[in-house]
Amino acid sequence: MELRQPTLCIALGLWAALWARPAAACGGLFCSQANPVNQTAERIVFADHGDGRVTAIIEILYQGPSENFSWVLPVAGEPEIGVSSTLALDRLQSATAPQYQLQTVDSCQDIVVARAKNGVDGAVDAGAALDIAVLASGVVGPYDYKLIAPAPGLDDPAASAIAWLEDNGYDVGALASERLGPYLAEGLNLLAFRLSKDRDSGSIRPLRLTYAAEHPAIPIRPTAVAAAADMGILVWVLGDSRAVPSNYKHLVLNEALIDWFNPGSTYDAVVSAAADEAGGHGFVTEMADATRMLEGRVVTDFERGEWADLVGDAGADGLEFARRSANLFSEWDGFREALAAAVTLPSGQSLEDFLNDLQFGAADPGVTVDSERLRQLLESEVVAPVFETQDLLDQSSYFTRLYTTLSPEEMSLDPIFDTNPDLPAVSNVHVAERRIDCDGGVSLTLPQGTVVEIVEPGVWPLDIGDGDQAAARRIEQLGSSGLPEVLVDNGDVPDVIATGATDGGSSGPAVVRGAGGIDGGAGDGGPVLDGCGCNVPGGRGPAGGGRGPWLGLLLAGLVLRRRR
């Protein structure tokens, strides 16, 4: 059967296949040799306030035992520290994910965790106490933290800091002093996190930091100690104009290497290959536009109204308040922890049993709920982190979403982001024209102008490394003003015969024809289909299971079974 417009949307639920439960960091994630903890992905929102302050919402994905989780972040001064929300980042990612869509034209016929050790229980500041000053300490969400600074005049301040961290229960593994030395030489302090006692991996949440900085930057060099190969880094920068990677190259992808029938299966590999062609240091701009496009995308007006009604109902008893809270926020970060802290359960009843009873209106009369305590915890730990993320978007006029992958050997340069008001917006919607001839031949004209002839239905014929196809259509350098400086231009390639073809005809899997001239990088979308698009991931997840937000893939149109 053939349809002219897509009527079938197949949800390929790949979240569970790509992510383990994420934690939060963007500095150095360290581990022991016996029980390694490796960072495998990272999501960051930067909001440049324009007054010398930057707010960062930071989340990492790691693999390994949570009892060995430690993180050290170089920061200027004493930052404001709080927890943020995985839910908020999930919604922001979904709203800005790249989409690859097919539009049929000129057809002949219709087409269709384990407990955290917290170092030594009750550990006190030990080690080089006279060499290291503790500037601040506290507990935020599931984390204990300390802000430390080496004393002036030390021969090796980084070595003293590492010794102090180890003496105080921070498992920094193979961290060498040369990794931290350059940051300390610049006068930065070290913010050290570890999981609080009795916290498991399911409790780990993103962090929110506000600190003094001239430009948003990712201190990626320490991450090389325990990073996975091709670690995905997804960044949103909020400001007054489009953001650019000032010391990394800018990548315009060759869309012919993306499998348009299943973009999520190849997108990361194309980004990684394009970054490698740029010397390992390059970002793709996946979307850039006014933040008004994101109004209500992280928090809806309905949710704000429901929260206002809930806290304004002074007459609700404890059980009723708990029931209404669960109906609204049971899937939000921190809800179960807030509920556990505000209820007293009868002996033998679990929190999950209580939640199930609430759902069916059969809560045990022996349960007592401190509704005021629950309200306070909901506001500070559950609702405010999500609302604050939407507020950051609303307070900025422009956002830019950028993505790359980095392997440990490439983590030699900290990415720094600036803005450029001269650059155009970038759409996240990419539309290819699919043409079906009367004899059954199928070809796709991509936004960059390339024509790909499909021989085997539903099978994308090109792989990275086939023929003369580069993964980067262009490699550019972007500055704080003006248009891009093109460093490498692979746009004017000759006609290329895909692997297996010998004469420019259709004897092999496909023919790829260069079309002379390309678009501005992300494509301006063109007409959008009346149906589902294909969202691709913003980053790479680990090989294996786990839950996470990188990819919720909707397949547009009827995709035939892939055959090899």
CA-CA distance, 541 to 228, in Å (whole number)?
10
Confidence band for 70, pLDDT divided at 50, 70 and 90: confident
In three-state form (DSSP H/G/I as H, E/B as E, the rest C), the secondary structure along 306-375 is HHHHHHHCCCCCHHHHHHHHHHHHCCCCCHHHHHHHHEECCCCCCHHHHHHHHHCCCCCCCCEECHHHHH
Say yes or no to pLDDT of 66 above 50. Answer: yes
Say yes or no to pLDDT of 534 above 70. Answer: no
The 10s digit of each residue's pLDDT in 238-288 is 999 999 999 999 999 999 999 999 998 999 999 999 999 999 999 999 999
Confidence band for 436, pLDDT divided at 50, 70 and 90: confident
pTM exceeds 0.85 for this model: no
Residue 38, both tokens: 């490796």
Q: 291, 397 in Cβ contact below 8 A?
A: yes
CA-CA distance, 146 to 428, in Å (whole number)?
40
Confidence band for 488, pLDDT divided at 50, 70 and 90: very high
For residue 318, give the nearest of 334, 350, 342 by alpha carbon.
342
> Residue 186: its pLDDT value, please?
87
- Count other C-beta atoms under 10 Å from residue 372's C-beta: 11
**Between the ranges 147-151, 185-189, 480-484, where is the mean pLDDT highest?**
480-484
CA-CA distance, 219 to 73, in Å (whole number)?
8
Residue-range domain boundaries for the chain: 301-395
> Residue 113: its pLDDT value, please?
23
> Residue 320: its pLDDT value, please?
85
Residue 431, beta-bridge partner list = 101
The 10s digit of each residue's pLDDT in 347-386 is 888 888 888 877 776 666 778 889 899 999 999 999 999 9
Q: In what order do the strands lie in the sheet containing 132-140?
A: 28-30, 70-75, 189-195, 143-150, 132-140
Mean pLDDT value across the chain? 75
The 10s digit of each residue's pLDDT in 212-236 is 999 999 988 887 776 778 889 999 9
DSSP-H helix ranges across 43-85: none
> Residue 513: its pLDDT value, please?
54
Q: What average pLDDT does range 107-127 have in this prediction?
A: 34
How far apart, in Å, are the Cα atoms of 113 and each of 63, 204, 486?
A: 10, 9, 47
Q: What average pLDDT does range 100-126 have in this prediction?
A: 47
